[in-house]
Amino acid sequence: MEQQILTSETLKHVRYEIRGQLANRALELEKRGYEIISLGNPGLFGFRTPETMRLAMIENLGQAEPYCHQKGIFPAREAVVMQQQNRGISGVTADEVFIGNGVSELIDLSLRALLNPGDEVLVPSPDYPLWSAAVALNGGVVRHYACGPDKGFRPDVADIESLVNARTKAIVVINPNNPSGAVYDEKTLKEIVELAERHKLVVMADEIYDQMVYDDAEFIPMATLANDSVCLTFSGLSKVYRACGYRVGWCVFSGELDRAEEYIHSMELLSALRLCSNVPGQWAVQTALGGFQSIRELVAPGGRLYQSRQAVIDRVEKSQFLSAERPMGAMYAFIRLDPRFGGRFDDLAFALELLESHHVLVAPGSSFNTPYNDHFRITTLPDTETINIVFDRIETCLAQHA
């Protein structure tokens, strides 16, 4: 047998189970004719991009054929600036805004522009695993700070500070949080900002779910607090505006911009190397941010997302096998298996059996870089009927092992 081609050593530290082994197995089962309930893609559950955004793209297709500026088209960047100003964030111009092929690309570019080999980045646990992967792929070292279920999935700033050393360059904050659905209060966010200021850390605020909050939860933009540090805010069209396939995200520099001049130039260089991001989708940004915010109806009592979330909460409360912190934001629930399964039926084994025998695809909690393996993540996207079907199958699966 011929010698296999050796791949990059950095991939040893990369995991992305959301589209990994289980997702591939789900595709195999679908090819065999099984109907799999996959609790992920918004487009699979009837959520549509607002019509005004589609029309804005169509009307500007003629202007979308050439490359645009590496940072993005001006109307899109200016619309992001206006949103920032409306939120009380001053000093930002279109020059501090980068449009990318989704937030995913901008996470990669921002870390590549910042990190030298061995530099460390503070990332929450559980995290959205792209953050940990992107740090590793760009030569950095991930230091996970705990946001465990015992603390309502909120961080303890004293614990975070114990991880800081001379190589620490940045801290990542995901709020509202994926996968836990936690929404951080102002006190917690202020303490994180003060920590960043003390240690001159770059604040990286992943706020892609910024308008997805429920009940009395309040979303507070990190940039409104981080005036004396360099803050990068990440958001986009994929979640709030149900336009995942458009692949349009943005990154905004704010705060101590004098300290960020070289950083911004480096981001511009990296952006230029890929010429520009997808142009047609950028023409939907101005309409999205300046138009009617339909997400508010979806997350209000009686709205589709609110009702689906409530159905998940109700089913977890009725279960003898499950528990969960009440998700206050985003579109996920991070659910815990009863301790009686400990040591013999972990999250990966559960997710695999649920898929193979009951044809429901969920994400094991440990794939979000947790030190524990008794959680799993589901989305709150399906309608209540589908959610009840899913939980009926989960209960049947767990009852067989109880």
The alpha carbon of 374 is separated from its chain's Cα centroid by a whole number of angstroms, namely 21
1: in domain: no
Grouping H, G, I as helix, E, B as strand and the rest as coil, residue 317 is helix
What Rg, from alpha-carbon coordinates, does the chain have?
21
- Count the Cβ atoms, other than its own, within 10 Å of residue 157: 18
Nearest to 170 by CA among 145, 207, 137: 145
Task: Work out the average pLDDT over 26-32.
Answer: 90
Pick the last residue of a domain from 248, 269, 290: 290
Distance, in Å, from the CA atom of 123 to the CA atom of 126, rounded to the nearest integer, reads 9
Grouping H, G, I as helix, E, B as strand and the rest as coil, residue 195 is helix
**Are residues 33 and 96 part of one domain?**
no
Task: Provide the domain limits for residue 184.
Answer: 51-290
CATH number reported for the structural domain that contains residue 282 in this entry: 3.40.640.10
Report whether pLDDT(70) > 80. yes
Using CA of residue 183, residue 186, residue 191, residue 192, what is the dihedral sign? positive
**Are residues 395 and 279 part of one domain?**
no
Q: How many residues does the chain have?
A: 402
| More confident position, 113 or 41 | 113
pLDDT digits (tens, 9 = 90+) for 41-51: 666 788 889 99
Q: How many domains, in total, are found in the chain?
A: 2
**Are residues 136 and 189 part of one domain?**
yes
The single-letter code of the amino acid at 102 is G
Distance, in Å, from the CA atom of 122 to the CA atom of 99, rounded to the nearest integer, reads 24
Distance, in Å, from the CA atom of 264 to the CA atom of 86, rounded to the nearest integer, reads 23
Distance, in Å, from the CA atom of 356 to the CA atom of 350, rounded to the nearest integer, reads 10
**Are residues 395 and 283 part of one domain?**
no
This prediction has a pTM of: 0.94
**Are residues 311 and 271 part of one domain?**
no
**Are residues 161 and 131 part of one domain?**
yes
pLDDT digits (tens, 9 = 90+) for 137-182: 999 999 999 999 999 999 999 999 999 999 999 999 999 999 999 9
**Are residues 240 and 207 part of one domain?**
yes
Distance, in Å, from the CA atom of 271 to the CA atom of 2, rounded to the nearest integer, reads 39
**Are residues 84 and 70 part of one domain?**
yes
* Look-up of token digits 């260089």: 269
**Are residues 387 and 242 part of one domain?**
no
Task: Work out the average pLDDT over 196-200.
Answer: 96
